[in-house]
Amino acid sequence: MHLLFVADPLEDFKVSKDTTFAMMREAQRRGHQVAACEPRDLVWRSGGQVEAAVREVRLTGADEEWFTETRRVVRPLREFGAVLMRKDPPFDSEYFYATHLLQQAEREGARVFNSPRALRDHPEKLAILEFPQFLSPTLVTRDAQAVRAFHAEHRDIILKPLDGMGGMGIFRVGPDGMNLGAIVETLNGDGSTTLMAQRFVPEIAQGDKRVLVIGGQPVPYSLARIPQGSEVRGNLAAGGKGVAQPLTARDREIAQALGPVLAARGLLLVGLDVIGDCLTEINVTSPTCFQEITQQTGFDVPAMFLDALEAAVAAAA
pLDDT digits (tens, 9 = 90+) for 200-226: 999 999 999 999 999 999 999 999 999
The answer to whether residue 210 is catalytic is yes
Question: 284 and 230, same structural domain?
Answer: yes
User: Could you confirm whether 273 is annotated as catalytic?
Assistant: yes
Strand 82-85 to strand 112-113: parallel, antiparallel, or no bridges (unpaired)? parallel
Band of residue 304 on the pLDDT scale cut at 50, 70, 90: very high
Digit-coded pLDDT (tens) for 141-150 = 999 999 999 9
Number of domains in the chain: 3
pLDDT tens digit sequence for 305-314: 999 999 999 9
The arithmetic mean of pLDDT across residues 214-243, rounded, is: 85
Going by C-beta distance under 8 Å and a sequence separation of 6 or more, which residues neighbour residue 193?
142, 161, 187
Q: Residues 100-141: pLDDT tens digits?
A: 999 999 999 999 999 999 999 999 999 999 999 999 999 999
- Contact between 159 and 147 under an 8 Å Cβ cutoff? The reply is yes
- The span from the CA of 181 to the CA of 198, in Å, is 16
202, with CB counted inside 10 A (0-12, 13-18, 19+), is exposed
Average pLDDT, the chain: 95
Is 209 an annotated catalytic residue? Answer: no
Catalytic residue among 124, 233, 251, 292: 233
Is there a domain that residue 252 lies in? yes
Among candidate residues 18, 251, 281, 292, the one labeled active-site is 281
Could you tell me if residue 126 is inside a domain?
A: no
Is the CA virtual torsion 38, 44, 45, 49 positive or negative? positive
Q: CA geometry: angle at 127 spanning 77 and 93, to 5°? A: 50
If you ran DSSP here, which 8-state letter would residue 247 be given? P
- Residues 86, 111, 125, 209: which is the catalytic one? 125
Domain residues for 187? 137-200
Q: Would residue 111 show up in a list of annotated catalytic residues for this protein?
A: no
Same domain, 17 and 111: yes
Q: Which of 99, 95, 86 is nearest to 302 (CA)?
A: 86
Element of type H or E holding 134: none
Angstrom distances, CA of residue 48 to CA of 40, 55, 114, 131, 300: 18, 21, 24, 41, 40
If asked whether residues 20 and 91 sit together in one domain, one would say yes
Tell me whether residue 213 is in a domain.
yes
207 and 158 assigned to the same domain? no
Q: Are residues 196 and 225 both part of a single domain?
A: no
Catalytic site includes residue 160 = yes
Per-residue pLDDT tens over the stretch 29-45: 999 999 999 999 999 99
What pLDDT, on the 0 to 100 scale, is given for residue 238?
A: 60
Does residue 310 fall inside a structural domain?
A: no
- Measure the CA–CA gap between 110 and 81, rounded to whole angstroms: 8
